[in-house]
Structure 1
Amino acid sequence: MAQALLTGTKLHLVFQVGMDEEGKPIMKSKMFNNIKKDSTTDQLFQAGTAISSLTNDMLNNLERNDSSEIIAE
């Protein structure tokens, strides 16, 4: 049987920075590496909203990206 070991977590923020000439939103993203692997969803949400409050852009999406190593037991 195989097991997955969490090796890293990243916080990905996606901002809407404007609209193009066709009226579609223009998105810009920022990735934060080296996030504590045991961070809760609430902690990541608080961090993401705090970071977004420092910009003039609207936070469109907040994602947690986990990486795992799969090993055999």
Structure 2
Amino acid sequence: MAETMLSKSTLRLVFNHGVDTKGQPILKSKTFSNIDEMATATNLQTASQAIAALVEKPMVMIVRNDLSEIN
């Protein structure tokens, strides 16, 4: 039977930087590596909001990316 093991977790914060000449939103992101695999969604949301408070642009999305190995 196959098993999965979480090997890496990253956190990406996406910020709105306005709109381009065509009216499309300009989104820029910042990725943080080495996120504790045991961090809960609430932990990550709290940390993300603290980081976003230091940025001039509004945060529009929080994304957690987990990489698992299948054995």
Report which of the two has the higher share of strand. Answer: 1
Q: What is aligned with 1:8?
A: 8
- The normalised TM-score by structure 1 is 0.94
- The normalised TM-score by structure 2 is 0.96
SS at match of 2:68: strand
Q: What is aligned with 2:33?
A: 33
Structure 2's unaligned 5+ residue stretches are none
Q: What letter matches 1:47 in structure 2?
A: A
Structure 1's unaligned 5+ residue stretches are none
Q: What is aligned with 1:69?
A: 69
Q: How many residue pairs end up in the alignment?
A: 71
Q: What letter matches 1:16 in structure 2?
A: N
Percent same amino acid at aligned positions? 42
Map 1:11-22 → 2, pairs under 5 A? 11-22=11-22
Q: What letter matches 2:9 in structure 1?
A: T
